[in-house]
Chains A and B, each alone.
Chain A
Amino acid sequence: MSKRKTKRHWKSLEERNANPDVLKVLGDEFPPGGPRQFRRRDFLKAAGFTMGVAVTTGCTRAPIQRAVPLLSQPEEIVPGRFLYYASTCGGCNAGCGVLAKVRDGRPIKLEGNPEHPISRGGLCATGQASILGLYDAERLQHPLKDGKSSTWADVDREITADLETIRAERGAVRFLSGTINSPTTLAGIQEFLKGFQNSRHVVYDALSNSALLDAHEKTHGVRALPRFHFDKAEVIVSFDADFLGTWISPVEYTADYRAARNLETKHVSYHVQFEPRLSVTGSKADQRFAVASGELGLLLSHLAERVAHKEDSPFASSQMDAAPVKEAFLDELAERLRQARGRSLVVCGVNDVRQQILCNYINHLLGNYGTTLVLEKPSLQSQGSDRELETLLDELRKGEIKALFVYGVNPSFELPGGESLERDLQKVPLLVSFAQRLDETASLARYVLPEPHYLESWSDHESISGVASISQPLLHRLGETRSVAETISAWRGSPKPGYELIRETWRNNLFTRQKKERDFETFWERTLHDGFAEIETDAIGGKPFSIQSVQPIWRAERPEANSFSLVLYPKVGMLDGRNAYNPWLHELPDPITKVTWDNYVSIAPKAAARFGISDGDVVRVDTNAGVAVELPAYIQPGQHEQTLAIALGYGSKLSARFAKVGPQWIDALVSVGDKGVVGVNAVLLLRFGNGILEYTTTNVKLTRTDKQRELACTQTHNTLSVPKKLQPKGSGPRPVLQETTLAAYLKDPHSGVEDHEEKEDLWPTDHPYRGPRWGMIIDQNACTGCSSCVIACQVENNIPVVGRDEIRRNREMHWLRIDRYYSETDSGQIEVAYEPLMCQQCENAPCETVCPVLATVHSEDGLNQQVYNRCIGTRYCANNCPYKARRFNWFNYAHDDQLQNLVLNPDVAVRSRGVMEKCTFCVQRIQEAKIEAKRRGEKVSDAAVQTACQQSCPSQAIYFGDLNDPQSQVSKMMANPRRYRVLGELNVRPAVGYLTVVRNRPEEATKGSKEEHHG
């Protein structure tokens, strides 16, 4: 074993600062805190009597089971087999292509379409979880009028009559929606609004990119969002753009980003991130700097000045403030950018036009337009205009609007209007909402005309110019809903079903723009099969870059001494609040903080120390405008010292349903907050002014309140470290996560790897793997922590939702968890690495030897099997597992919602109380592949099996396959010099290997860690 000091990784500040109380708790997998004291004799008496009672309730004969076949079975439907249909995800505006797995006439799982140019096989957590929205009993089943159920005929009649009056009176009609990139719906809306003199379609995004679009209008004369190609970039500089997490099209960008970081070909990009809070993208950056949000503009100017200087371009910079980052670093960065001219990408995620123009300027100087940013074939994924929204809000305030149609957005929840906005909305005589559920805006609307879920209706998308995708229904509509296009066609007098409307648009507009197929029907069939079609588009005309638009920013907006600047951001699972109905996404631990079921104020450690705040203390954030919110605090290493960050999307009415989520027992804490909803809505802290939604505020005050709210955070659970009292003398911290730098890797590919030689096997003939032997490799360099694998596993394996209280007691049920480790560099920068951890399917499994009933045994293809019907719940196996990968069913998690049960995977058992469960390497998929191969008379092929997590990863970080096949990808990866095994020194011989994180840093591997605090 080398004497080199290994880099110390820690999961929480308590662990790092060696707080003895917490370390004690960390060591316990099942922390104490049981029911009140019960005297033993009373207990035995009660037990005896209960047994007597239980026996009398008695067993009866097995109930009669019926088998009801279809009356007329279509040829392709075989009960028990599934079919894949291509569709497009509607979880956000990115428009990733999906393949929906349909079983017995209903979709049960979504998978990314490998051929789709946006998703390329991956799908984000929101997309994976969006299938639950289909089987939601809270979706509206009928149109509502004034809160009461009505019929389509009635509402159509009344609304058309109202519209007639409005048309005659030349009243103002507005259609307010989010970004719509469905050509059919857009065409329908245009036609509809044409019938009114004073009408407009106002588009806004709750997570606005309006400044980016406006900036391009100023610099290039066209208001468009370029399509970013991160795979072509060798140097990526991001100014608070969370492109791997939540910005515009994260699945696409993650796949591209990954392609540009290929260690095998030594083609590794260099990524620098400047941001006020620690985001998912920042956690992957090679260099990350925490700067205040008000300093980003100044930083952009500094970088622009340097690049302009190198490119001999003018840039007025005489009186700029000093840069918040070392000048030497900026010089070096500018030089790297210049060397990678045309192959670099600078992105800015701040919704500020001046900063975006500076960013465009830098890209223009570097010649990136045309290669890494393509404006001619723009992205249509975000088209909102804050300016138009502001005008609309003005009109609402003045009461000028006679009819307002709201589609795909929830302005009452997403905009900082508060009660005055509610009043303004109620002033509109005809307020119609097309919401799927009764959200805040729909509650104010006179008519609610629910639209169907994207999996049960026809729709189309053109998310990127040139790629037209189709969304097809996979089951009959569950309820009397009607899509917006259908509703509009009904109001215009010629009601047509969605199918015909889509075909019409495609025949007239899209079929004509392609040359591959001559016949429309063939084109249509092929598109339905593929899920998308490539069509030609005209390049949008842009003007040459307008230098005059560039305005340097000379001053930084720093907060005063005891104040903070506040940043509002979307979380990976919740986005703008659209997923507030989804329990899976509430329970998904945030990639960075690992907090579930709540939002909170992130505060830097130094600032927390100054104010005497610890995790869970409720604090009050006051802005200058007199708005205040109270939220629990959470200490975030790596955040800028004078920055507070709060997540948007919480506090929604749609989350009131979680008042009773999880097992209900006497001492349970509720998952909702004081107001009966999960989290607190921070939207009042947004500022709307000058035509821009601002997500940052300066000079915000922080005060402690006396209240406390315990945050259900999973980061302190399941530690793989040995408690101090059990550590043998002279042992150091376990190298659970291994990393290195690119410089060290290029010198020696084994650098950073502390793998242990496999000791001699005591039982060499115990497990002869005659057939396939399943193994997995996780490339930690590719993993971005996006957690889509966690949700994919939850959907595939019927993993229950347990609620906040159970998570607080370490009882989350996710089979696959992503451990996030912090570490520090010598210069005090916080670095993050992710380690997805699931059952390692050990060959010498410690769990197999201790099960008293042999419920967990080793299979002949390398899996550690868990037999639920044999398990009696001793939990000795979980005790013995060094990876803490086993989950125990402490309760019978409720499956009362019959509609929601339709999403359950029929190939996986639903476990009852008292049974241990864990990752099975998707054994149901392995069995299916083996049986199909047997049916066809072939050997089971490695490529036929894809575990759910592997399939879903947008970054292709997981490899799975047959270790006994030397040609398989996973066998080759196992031979990769970067490969190590977590806790390899225990000689449990896991079947899962990990590839080290390689950070692209010019200097040598960093030494040890500093003991001081770094805020």
Chain B
Amino acid sequence: MAMAVHAAQKARRRSLVSYLLLTMALGSVFLGIKVVEYSHKFHDRLVPGPNFLFSGPRGEHAELFYSFYFAMTGFHALHMIVGIGILAVIVWMAHRDRFTADYYNPVENTGLYWHFVDIIWIFLFPLLYLVGHHG
């Protein structure tokens, strides 16, 4: 994404389109991994609700954790889906040669949004996947 903004600033249309498509592809890979991860959770009955089943002690704490897990990763994934949708519009505009070295604000703003969602993940990943493994 950062390289796409760079290409836009330099008015390199072809590399702008390529970098945007690459961003969308990598975002889709991330979402694909999430789909696999979620289906494992459903299979292991770790989704909070009447079917929740946790074999270890303090099951109600585990259920609370998985509520946070699904709410936070779910909203993050939702923002990424929106981001990929915005990127689809931007890549179409770039393909139609709508941007110049003087006018690329939509690309820049899409980058700001995408990087913000990235920052959320920088915090969510250690909080949900790493911290508390020793407790």
Do these two chains interact? Answer: no
What residues make up the interface of A, taking CB atoms closer than 8 Å to B? none
What residues make up the interface of B, taking CB atoms closer than 8 Å to A? none
